[in-house]
Amino acid sequence: MTEPKIQQLIERGALFVANHSGGKDSMACLIELAKHVPASQILVVHASLGAAEWPGALEKAQEHAKHLGLPFLVARAKKSLFDMVERKFERDPSVVSWPTSAQRQCTSDLKRDPIVREVRAYANEHGFGPIVNCLGIRAEESTARAKRPEFSVNNRETNSVRSWYEWLPIHDLKVKQVWALIDSQPVQRHYAYLLGNERLSCVFCIMASKNDLITGYTHNPRLFERYTALEAKTGYAMHVSKKRLQELVLGPGYAQAA
């Protein structure tokens, strides 16, 4: 059971960090977190992906934190996704330039590392000891996510000064339960869901469904052009399917003609 461990960490004065993308699972995670942890021990952090993320994602995370009366930080990497791909291509054109499912630099370099940097500084400034990193990851989403433990020690970030842990507060929730939680409080879902999106993060995520890619193209055509131009320059497809965005969104006939 994770509840005794969480209670012990609350009593030890741990800082609980809610990673908030602005999406539905982040919202549900924060709602659940706020039920169990004192507000004085919660920090909401949004890893900004700049032009690559859905407009309004940062603002939605900030709105949610403000509604709950919680401190909010934005973590920004020193490079963008486009910088990362360009540099990798320039270093070695024979290596796939885009992040892959096995090597997700977009997560490690643009989200995890900037968040760790900001959280360490915040914990030091406010005198927190242990840190509990809270993620809106659900078992229903994939086999890999189902295998992740609900609570674990983060050995990568734990050191002699401070212990780090990882907690998945909504790991067992189904998508209907997620929406029920969101609908139970005043902060509304991000507008991309009303447009038909299934998930929210990057407009064109390497793991995105065809549905979300089409929605992204329909409402962000200039960003689509930026991605397709970089695919053409590097010679590599952005998506894990290894199909170019034009083919995935507009169909194979368009891709061949292009």
- How far apart CA 94 and CA 88 sit, in angstroms, is 10
**By the 8 A CB rule, do 53 and 202 touch?**
yes
Give residue 234's pLDDT band: very low, low, confident or very high (50, 70, 90): very high
Domain regions of the chain by residue span: 3-193, 203-258
pLDDT in tens, 78-130: 999 999 999 999 999 999 999 998 888 899 999 999 999 999 999 999 999 99
**By the 8 A CB rule, do 53 and 80 touch?**
no
Least confident of 7-11, 133-137, 251-255: 251-255
Model pLDDT, residue 257: 42
**By the 8 A CB rule, do 141 and 115 touch?**
no
Beta 15-19 vs 42-48: how paired, if at all?
parallel
Model pLDDT, residue 103: 86
Specify the pTM. 0.93
User: Which residue is it, tokens 């908030």?
Assistant: 20
Model pLDDT, residue 67: 97
User: What is the rounded (10 degree) CA torsion for 120, 109, 80, 145?
Assistant: -110
**By the 8 A CB rule, do 18 and 73 touch?**
no
- How far apart CA 81 and CA 75 sit, in angstroms, is 15
DSSP one-letter string for the chain:
--HHHHHHHHHTTPEEEEE--SSHHHHHHHHHHHHHS-GGGEEEEEEE-GGGBPTTHHHHHHHHHHHTT--EEEEE-SS-HHHHHHHHHHH-TTS--S--SS--HHHIIIIIHHHHHHHHHHHHHHT--SEEEE----GGG-HHHHTS-SEEE-TTT--SS--EEEE-TTTT--HHHHHHHHHTSSSPPPHHHHTT-S--SBTT-TT--HHHHHHHHHH-HHHHHHHHHHHHHHS--SSTT---HHHHHH-HHHHHH-
- How far apart CA 204 and CA 217 sit, in angstroms, is 8
Residues 155-166 have a mean pLDDT of 93
Least confident of 52-56, 159-163, 213-217: 159-163
Determine whether domain 3-193 maps to CATH 1.10.510.10: no
